[in-house]
Structure 1
Amino acid sequence: MSDATALIATRSGATLHLRLNRPDKGNALSAELVGALTAAVQAASADDSLRLLVLSGEGRHFCTGFDLSDLGDETDDSLLARFTRVELLLQAVHAAPFTTLALAHGRTMGAGADLFAACSERWVVDEAQFAFPGVGFGLVLGTSRLGDLVGAQQAAQWLQSGATVDHPTALQARLATRTVPADALNDALNALQERVQRLDSTAYRAIHAALGTARRPRGDAGDAQDLARLVQSAARAGLRERIVSYRAAQRKS
């Protein structure tokens, strides 16, 4: 899959649909895909006519996380830069001035689960599994946003245990907002599109911003703090070796 087609963007009226298109890699977040997603979200945020951004993944999985397929070519510094860009992407999605919808299916792991959690609407299509393994190699990414959704105690349990979370548990804990059968997805999307387009653009964005203060209590200062925590954790010497050791231990378990 070429870098040029790693992200497919389609626009229909006030809805922008971004499809992660690396199915052979589980839609893992390569540097190129993160850059394309960030650019698309930033451009969308500047478009006053947009009401809904949909994120989905092609193939069997929504997103299996940070792409480590070329780990042998990475250094601590290059990994730090890449993780920082992922955090900035998550912040852009989280602060978007319109409804953001993630459609999870299959494996939704690591940075992919963080991307799911950054959206205001979080649907499971048929079935999905979630996991947040970054803590296993000392990375603090998306932690505060996860805690905002499911509570500090539940977030700590998932992060510290490295457990895989099934979709009924995700729904009960409010990581997911609903489940939708695949054969009912188009109807559900149409209903959401009708809802977000009922008001004029000014009223819609004002309401979205007001409600967003409850969903995003940390604001700019919190975003800066989240970024600082991520950088501090990723900048600790030995990041690449910690990831290598973690992956080796996972293969043995």
Structure 2
Amino acid sequence: MDELEIVQSDHTVEVRLDRPAKANALSACVVEGLLDLLDECERRRVRLLIFSGNGAHFCAGFDLGGLQAQTDGDLLWRLIRIEMLLQRIHHAPFLTMALAHGTVVGAGTDLVCVCALRIAAPGTSFRMPGWRFGVALGTRRLVARIGTSAARSVLLEGRRFDAEEALRIGFVDRIAPGESWREEIRKAQRAACALDSEATASLLCTSVADTRSEDMASLVSTAGRPGLKSRLLAYQEAARRRTGLAKPEVLSTADPKPANLVKQ
């Protein structure tokens, strides 16, 4: 699809979110395209799947565009599909990698969290505001990644945390400038092929706790409360007042200064 830039080589697939005008926010079409891509990666026995984003930001999370025309049910279904996508990546039988830069918000931060390998460019910031509108998306996975205390601090306050803090608490593996990402990818390719595909899949399966049922139940029980659309509209209005934008369509307050990246 037009909003995903996919590059395939040998046993590696690189997918770049390509909605720079909307900070690569996750529309319903993008989510479905990524789910289809995961199906294809499993059929082709891919060894490494890499996520990155074109433009100034990796991913601004849930796309709020057209919010007024959607019902609570529409929005709940979109969130369920995002959770299904995140679960597929988290439990993929091949190695996954996120290359994050700029402002990363909400489901974009979740997308980084579920990847086995996580690299952030200098100046990257992360935020998970979902609990501000009463949605439990990825909470257990975040706790597993950075621990209970750090996760509660990030989620209760809905605050940004920068790349240095992300490295310190274990949210990312390394901070690396964009010009070094090709070398990071080569390292990941070597790791992805160190074992045969069956051994890799078994290792990845046994080293991740399977909380898929609990995670989906938490999402549905929180997002399924009546008034989801109203809560998102209130969040959007608060973002409008904070940023001065007439109608914010993403969950971020986009940083005006892009990260120093090179075209990969």
The answer to whether the 8 Å contact 2:122/2:163 transfers is no
| Cα shift readout 1:27-76 (whole Å, capped 9, x = no counterpart) | 0000000000011112212333x111000000000000100011111110
Structure 2 residue 221 is the aligned partner of structure 1 residue 232: yes
| Greater mean deviation of Cα atoms: 124-133 or 109-118 | 124-133
**Contact 1:42–1:92 at 8 Å: present in 2 too?**
no
- Comparing 196-205 and 101-110, the one that deviates more: 196-205
Task: Work out whether residues 129 and 158 of structure 2, in 8 Å CA contact, stay in contact via their aligned partners in 1.
Answer: yes
Of 94, 111, 114, the match for 2:110 = 114
Q: Matches of 1:125 and 1:229 in 2, distance apart?
A: 32
Q: CA deviation at 1:129?
A: 0.6
| Residues in 1 aligned to 2:199 and 2:10: alpha-carbon distance in whole angstroms | 18
Match of residue 251 from structure 1: 240
What corresponds to 1:63 in structure 2? 59
Give 1:170 deviation, angstroms: 0.6
Q: Pick from 204, 210, 220 the counterpart of residue 208 of structure 1.
A: 204
Q: Contact (CA 8 Å) 1:27, 1:62: kept in 2 or not? A: yes
Q: 1:25 aligns with which of 22, 27, 41?
A: 22
| Per-residue Cα deviation, 1:84-134 (whole angstroms, up to 9, x for no partner) | 000000000000011100010001100100011010001002331100011
Give identity over the alignment, percent.
Answer: 38
After superposition, the C-alpha distances for 1:159-181 in whole angstroms (9 at most, x for unaligned) are 11010111100110111111112
Give the aligned residue type for 1:34: V
Mapped to 1, the partners of 2:143 and 2:194 lie a distance apart of: 32
**1:74: which partner in 2?**
70
From 96, 108, 111, give the equivalent of 2:92: 96
Quote the residue 2:253 is aligned against. none
Q: Which runs of 4+ in 1 moved over 4 A?
A: none
Give unpaired runs (5+ residues) of structure 1: none
Residues paired across the two proteins, number: 242
Amino acid at match of 2:191: R
Mapped to 2, the partners of 1:180 and 1:77 lie a distance apart of 41
Q: Residue 137 of structure 2 corresponds to which residue in structure 1? A: 141
When normalised by structure 2's length, the TM-score is 0.88
* Farther off after superposition, 60-69 or 174-183: 174-183
Asked if residue 44 in structure 1 is aligned to residue 33 in structure 2, the reply is no
- 5+ residue gaps in structure 2? 243-264
5 Å-filtered alignment, 1:5-20, equals 5-20=2-17
**Which stretch shows the higher mean deviation, 112-121 or 189-198?**
189-198
Q: From 147, 154, 161, give the equivalent of 1:158.
A: 154
Whether the 8 Å CA contact 2:80–2:219 is kept in 1: the answer is: yes
TM-score, structure 1 length as denominator? 0.92
